Amino acid sequence: MTSIASRADDGRVTRIAATMADGREIIYFDETPDAVRVLTDPRDIPSVIPGSHVRYDVLLGEWVGIAGHRQTRTYHPPADACPLCPSTARNQSEIPSPDYDVVVFENRFPSFAGAGEIASDGTLFDTRPGYGRCEVVCFTSNHHATLSSLPPSRMRTVIDAWADRTAAMSASPGVEQVFCFENRGVEIGVTLAHPHGQIYGYPFVTPKTAAAIRSAQAHRAATGSNLFAAVLAGELADGSRIVAENEHWVALVPFAARWPVEVHLYPRRQVRDLTALEGVERAALAELYLEVIKRMEGMFDDTLPAITGVHQAPVHAADEDFRLHLEVFTIRRDVGKLKFLAGSESAMGAFVNDITPEIAAERLRAVDTGTERVAK
């Protein structure tokens, strides 16, 4: 059992790392310096042997993960057996401690695991080990909380944890891109109700990021300028799709939004990933992100099944034009109605959005987020 406690650079978070019963790593990010955490995992659980690999689709030019061992993963456990709650006498969960602020641990059923250098086999049927890392991030020990009910200081701690993990995974051999994300809502397949997100360290550059880098490179070749900066400047000049902004960040509905309600959060300066953000920028992101979520929650008198993704530059990207940003979208298109990805979207990648982006932005701006928002 190894444990390492350390204070983050700016002293606001205490970081305590330990090892779980089956050898996985768990890391507490605590807002109070004197938090006492149980570092011994008393369970007798067998190790899951990750059998994943990745295959290259030569027709679409994309990597696909194949992870046959994940079919047995935990599926809608009852609330009193939640694996993400702090442990109690009755429920020995993934987190041995009786409480935590933010905790990160390796996923027991990872899509990617292990580390090493990998090389192409040079054929049309290229298979590689599924190296990489998958982690779970619990945002609060309160099973029934929602992210938007948490104070900005907690969101800031989540961002600190994301940045910590981005730095750590980026240093792991074989990891090409780190992706922090949150799925929420049974409507999009979430099987654990406890407020949490995930972090993937992929052994390849994801298709969306690869596409954006291609576009940015073409734009720089044609104009000599940064495509992300040009788009953000255009959005700010137009204004019709801006949802909210502060000194360091801008939240907007993108011009060609694919989802009924979709908001992107961009830093005003060129930053490649979370690790490059200053403390004030992290704090400003926490504030604006919670405001965006509350505005999205306020648009429909219904649940908000949603996905938040933190888009970061690939670990080894020579291209420095890619700009860190968050993308948040919901599949809710109306009260009682969801946007499904059917033939056009799933088979052809051609999205048809039922809500005009400017109308979505107007409705988001009109949401009364109340005064609770600034309570800390």
Query: Contact between 220 and a copy of itself (CB under 8 A)?
Result: no
- The vertex-351 CA angle with 240 and 321, nearest 5°, equals 65
Q: Which stretch binds a copy of itself (CB under 8 A): 163-171, 200-208, 278-286, 361-369?
A: 200-208
Q: Which stretch binds a copy of itself (CB under 8 A): 37-45, 139-147, 295-303, 305-313?
A: 305-313
Query: Contact between 83 and a copy of itself (CB under 8 A)?
Result: no
**Binding residue for a copy of itself, selected from 68, 78, 224, 239, defined by CB under 8 A:** 68
The H or E element containing residue 26 is strand 25-30
Query: Contact between 321 and a copy of itself (CB under 8 A)?
Result: no
Q: Pick out residues in 89-128 that bind a copy of itself (CB under 8 A).
A: 111, 124-125
Q: Which stretch binds a copy of itself (CB under 8 A): 53-61, 114-122, 286-294, 295-303?
A: 53-61
- Dist CA 155 CA 139 (whole Å): 8
Q: Is 234 helix (H, G, I), strand (E, B) or coil?
A: helix
- Nearest CA among 127, 136, 135, 137 for reference residue 52: 127
**Binding residue for a copy of itself, selected from 80, 278, 320, 334, defined by CB under 8 A:** 334
- Dist CA 6 CA 18 (whole Å): 12
**DSSP calls for 5-25:** EEE-TTSS-EEEEEE-TTS-E
Query: Contact between 350 and a copy of itself (CB under 8 A)?
Result: yes
First to last CA, the chain: 36
The answer to whether 303 and 332 have CB atoms below 8 angstroms apart is: yes
Q: Which is nearer to a copy of itself, 17 or 338 (CB)?
A: 338
Q: Pick out residues in 222-251 that bind a copy of itself (CB under 8 A).
A: 227-228, 230-231, 234, 238
Q: Is 318 helix (H, G, I), strand (E, B) or coil?
A: coil
Q: Pick out residues in 161-180 that bind a copy of itself (CB under 8 A).
A: 179
Q: Which is nearer to a copy of itself, 144 or 214 (CB)?
A: 214
Burial 297-313 (b: 16+ CB within 10 A, else e): bbbbeeebbbbbbbbbb
**Binding residue for a copy of itself, selected from 280, 335, 341, 366, defined by CB under 8 A:** 341
Q: Pick out residues in 357-376 that bind a copy of itself (CB under 8 A).
A: 357, 359
**Binding residue for a copy of itself, selected from 28, 309, 332, 363, defined by CB under 8 A:** 309
Q: Which stretch binds a copy of itself (CB under 8 A): 14-22, 41-49, 58-66, 242-250?
A: 58-66
- Indicate which residue of 76, 144, 196, 316 is catalytic: 196
Q: Which is nearer to a copy of itself, 41 or 327 (CB)?
A: 327
Please report where in the chains the tokens 């020990």 appear, as a residue.
141
Cross-strand bridge partners of residue 133: 201
How do strand 306-311 and strand 196-202 relate by DSSP bridges? unpaired
With CB under 8 A as the rule, give the number of residues binding a copy of itself: 82
* β strands within 76-205, DSSP E: 102-106, 127-129, 133-138, 177-184, 196-202
Verify whether residue 196 is a known catalytic residue. Answer: yes
Just list the catalytic residues.
196
